[in-house]
Amino acid sequence: MAPRSHASSPAQDDSSALNERERAAHLLARLAYGPRPGETKRLIAMGVEKWLEDQLQEQDSHDPRLKTWLSEYQTLGLSVKECAEFTYTQRVDKKTPSQEEQRAERIKRRIPLDEVVWSTALRAVYSDRQATEVMAEFWRNHLNVSFTKGQNIYSMVPDYERSVIRDQVWGSFPAMLVASATHPAMLTYLDNHLSRRPPSKQELKEIERQTERKTGSKERAVEAVQIATQRGLNENYARELLELHTLGVDNFYAQNDVIALAEILTGWTIEGGRKGSQAFHFNAAMHVPGDIKLLGKRFAEDKEKGPGQGMEVLAMLGAHKGTADFIAMKMVRFLVADVPPASLVKEVAKTYRTSKGNLTAMLRTIVDSEEFWSRKNFRTKFKTPYEFIISALRVTGAEIDRQASIGNYLAEMGQPIYHCDDPTGYYDTADAWLDPGVMALRWQFATDLALGKVRGVKIPETFFDQIPYDAPPRLWEHHLTTLILPGGAGPRTRAALATVTSEYLDQKGKRVPNLNQIGPTLVGLLLGSPEFQQQ
């Protein structure tokens, strides 16, 4: 049995290398949502390199339970059109539906939302391809779309999550960028599907004529023209495409570039209507014609009357030095440190440029770097609420059922899945999350989880079987610390746990202590400890 002092690593200065156990803990903290029971040991046994290889080779989890659960979802594999049809309720007659019918329609419409949110959490907790889940979360935020946009986006998100995020995680950024730019969810979320050139005089006349013919009213015709006159450019997507998706704010571009890009992207819309494909569609009639100058370069009109001009712009942005720098900075900040080491950012940007934005290659550069493994960056990054909750569920081997209420906790902590209103996505640095007060919510969750008070979530009794049956009660807290904080605990945390244990044992007097009584209390405290808040 390990002596007590092994619960923490000995005092180290920043220059000393991480030991084997710390390396395993670090890798699982950064490229996974922490270990599930037994995983730290398994990683040490198989070695860092083999673990990484497995992670980067394929994205699908082998976990049989997860496979079964995912297969039970109805909308995850559907295209946007299929999903829209799935959630659509055909009304048999025209009379107003009863309240009950309306309720049923609402529930049906919400199915994709619930399934996307749920499957995201389930995968993060159970998947044995954790690096995919971690990077998927990174891209979900980088190319944020949100259910808060409204009901018409619900049926688009399952396909977005699958084809833009998951399928591209180990592909290339330029390809992912095109996938997002041509996806109905992004076009809707940032309003580009509505953006068009203002109508010509001739078109307005035509509208007037047709409206008058249809309605027989001159007034209605004038009204229709007034409304039509208003149709035009929407800058929303063009701005965020430059600011948040590629170059970074006010980097290389100015307001006139935003307008130019908005013009180039007019006509990038969705083939809508009941009969439409619900897929990306270039509508030449909505497009501002002609060559357009952007970032000092002329982009020629597509002679085929297709989206060629915009595609060229996306290719230019995907190959831009500014994009390489920006994506590299964000990846390093996400995986290494809130203040990303400049040397590593430079290396990763170089990989971006030489590999044409290959995301696997960029990740490799990070994981192979000195900076990644430096003690300076060991357990120094504050977990986001999502990372905190998912890692707590994993480390305790918690079983969660579909009705689990972890969504409520995430919402109260300010990070509900796929509900970030702002196109920035959720931030990943401590200054966005570490306000006084937030710790109280984490302690509440830690305590609730450990004591079995989170609805639909249960830590299995076998969790405590990991502690040797003959371990003396005074060492229970030591064993639990090793399980929950594989990187070790500081002296205050250890002393605090020892006090709790002592109080329990004193109170027991001569009666036999019971791990099932004190164990959950200790687990709750460990999950709420300062050390567990860090990755």
Partner 1 sequence: MSPTNPTSRRDFLKLAAISGVALHSSSFAAQLLAAQPVGPGYLTQEGANQSLVVIFLRGGADFMNIVVPYGDPDYPAFRPTLAMNLDAGLIKLDKTFGLHPAMASLQPLWGAGQLAPIVCAGSMHSTRSHFDAQDWMEFAAPGDRTVRQGWLNRYLAITEPPKAKASDFRALGMQELLPRSLRGNYPVLAVPRSLTKKKSSSTLDAFERFYGEGGTDMEGGAAMSGEREADAAGVVESGRITIETLRRLQEIVAASDKKSASQSVSGSSYPDSTFANRLKQIALVLKAGEGLEVSGLDYGGWDDHSQEGTVDGKMATRLRDLSSSLSAFCQDLGPALARTTILVMTEFGRTVKENGNNGTDHGHGSTMLVMGGGVKGGQVHGDWRGLKQDALYQGRDLAVTTDFRDVYNAVLENALGFEPPKDFFPGYKPNKMKTLF
Q: In the range 424-443, which residues lie near partner 1 by CB under 8 A?
A: 424, 430-441, 443
Region 111-150 residues binding partner 1, contact defined as CB under 8 A: 148
Task: Indicate the SS3 state at residue 297.
Answer: strand
225 versus 363: smaller Cβ distance to partner 1? 225
Instruction: Name the burial class of residue 152, with classes exposed (0-12), middle (13-18) and buried (19+) by CB atoms within 10 angstroms of its CB.
Output: middle
Region 176-235 residues binding partner 1, contact defined as CB under 8 A: 190-191, 194-196, 198, 226-227, 229-235
66 versus 261: smaller Cβ distance to partner 1? 261
Binding mask 238-267 for partner 1 (x = CB under 8 A): -x---x-----xx----x--x---------
97 versus 198: smaller Cβ distance to partner 1? 198
Taking CB under 8 A as the binding criterion, the range among 83-91, 295-303, 451-459, 527-535 that sits at the site for partner 1 is 527-535
Least distance to partner 1 from the beta carbon of 469, Å?
A: 28
Q: Does 529 bind partner 1 (CB under 8 A)?
A: yes
CA distance 535 to 529: 13
Taking CB under 8 A as the binding criterion, the range among 201-209, 299-307, 323-331, 480-488 that sits at the site for partner 1 is 480-488
CA-nearest of 266, 262, 309 to 287 is: 266
341 versus 357: smaller Cβ distance to partner 1? 341
Among 152, 163, 236, 283, binds partner 1 (CB under 8 A): 236
370 versus 421: smaller Cβ distance to partner 1? 421
138 versus 237: smaller Cβ distance to partner 1? 237
CA distance 30 to 337: 10
Cα separation of the two ends of the chain: 27
Least distance to partner 1 from the beta carbon of 8, Å?
A: 5
Total count of residues recorded for the chain: 535
Sign of CA dihedral 211, 215, 217, 220: negative
Least distance to partner 1 from the beta carbon of 356, Å?
A: 28
Tokens standing for residue 115: 């399934």
Least distance to partner 1 from the beta carbon of 442, Å?
A: 9
Region 147-166 residues binding partner 1, contact defined as CB under 8 A: 148
Least distance to partner 1 from the beta carbon of 50, Å?
A: 27
Total residues interacting with partner 1, rule: CB under 8 A: 77
Least distance to partner 1 from the beta carbon of 12, Å?
A: 5
Least distance to partner 1 from the beta carbon of 509, Å?
A: 23
Q: Does 502 bind partner 1 (CB under 8 A)?
A: no
Least distance to partner 1 from the beta carbon of 487, Å?
A: 6
Indicate the helix (H) or strand (E) that contains 25.
helix 20-30
For residue 397, the tally of other CB atoms under 10 A from its CB is: 19
Q: Does 488 bind partner 1 (CB under 8 A)?
A: yes
Residues 6+ apart with CB under 8 A from 74: 86, 111, 115
- Kindly compute the dihedral angle of the four CA atoms of residues 371, 376, 377, 383, in this order, to the nearest 10 degrees: -170
* 3-state DSSP of 362-425: HHHHHHCCHHHHCHHHCCCCECCHHHHHHHHHHHCCCEECCCCCHHHHHHHCCCCCCCCCCCCC
13 versus 100: smaller Cβ distance to partner 1? 13
Binding mask 443-462 for partner 1 (x = CB under 8 A): xx--x---------------
At residue 125's C-alpha, the angle toward residues 119 and 129, to 5°, is 90
CA distance 227 to 447: 57
- Kindly compute the dihedral angle of the four CA atoms of residues 503, 507, 510, 513, in this order, to the nearest 10 degrees: -60
DSSP label at residue 96: P
Amino acid letter, 216: G
Q: Does 506 bind partner 1 (CB under 8 A)?
A: no
Tokens standing for residue 441: 């919510």
Least distance to partner 1 from the beta carbon of 340, Å?
A: 13
Cα within 13 Å of Cα(240), Cβ side: 21
Among 1, 2, 12, 306, binds partner 1 (CB under 8 A): 12
Backbone conformation region of residue 429, classed left if phi is above 0, alpha if psi is from -120 to 50, else beta: beta
Distance of CA 409 to the CA centre of its chain: 17
Among 2, 222, 285, 495, binds partner 1 (CB under 8 A): 495
For residue 407, the tally of other CB atoms under 10 A from its CB is: 16
Taking CB under 8 A as the binding criterion, the range among 105-113, 156-164, 472-480, 523-531 that sits at the site for partner 1 is 523-531
Q: Does 368 bind partner 1 (CB under 8 A)?
A: no
Region 292-351 residues binding partner 1, contact defined as CB under 8 A: 339
DSSP label at residue 244: I
285 versus 440: smaller Cβ distance to partner 1? 440
For residue 88, the tally of other CB atoms under 10 A from its CB is: 13
Taking CB under 8 A as the binding criterion, the range among 57-65, 348-356, 488-496, 506-514 that sits at the site for partner 1 is 488-496
Binding mask 392-431 for partner 1 (x = CB under 8 A): --------------------xxx------xx-x-----xx
